[in-house]
Amino acid sequence: MTPHDPAAADGECAPRATSTPRVTVAGGARAGDRRTEGEAGRKAEGLLLGLAAGDAAGWPAARHRAARMPDWTRRLTRELDTFAEHNATTT
């Protein structure tokens, strides 16, 4: 047995290598992959949920950083938030 051959953990047979190697090709797809439309939809949904979670986590951090900024910056932020509330818009 060479040092690079996989050894069995229980002393019996060593695990075999897969018969079909997976090769990465352009676009991130792999040879042998067969994606269904449902999988693509779930992937897009996961992407959007991840973006929303990151945005939600970033909002409080921005508020905490704003507390360390000059007074005029905080005042401008308050005025923009008040304007958005009164006009039912987002900033």
Tens of pLDDT, residue by residue over 24-59, are 555 555 555 566 556 777 888 888 888 888 877 787
| Higher pLDDT among residues 84 and 24, named by residue | 84
- Segment among 26-40, 54-68, 73-87 with least mean pLDDT: 26-40
Could you tell me what percent of the chain has a pLDDT over 90? 4
The ranges assigned to domains in the chain are 35-87
Q: Which residues contact 90 (CB under 8 A, 6 or more apart)?
A: 84
Stated pTM of the model: 0.29
Report the b/e string of 46-56 with b at 16+ CB within 10 A: eeeeeeeeeee
The encoded tokens of residue 86 equal 């009164």
Residue 33 CA to residue 22 CA, distance in Å, equals 9
Could you tell me what percent of the chain has a pLDDT over 70? 56
Phi, then psi, of 30 in degrees rounded to 5: -115, 150
pLDDT greater than 80 at residue 67:
no
Residue 73 CA to residue 66 CA, distance in Å, equals 8
* pLDDT for 79: 92
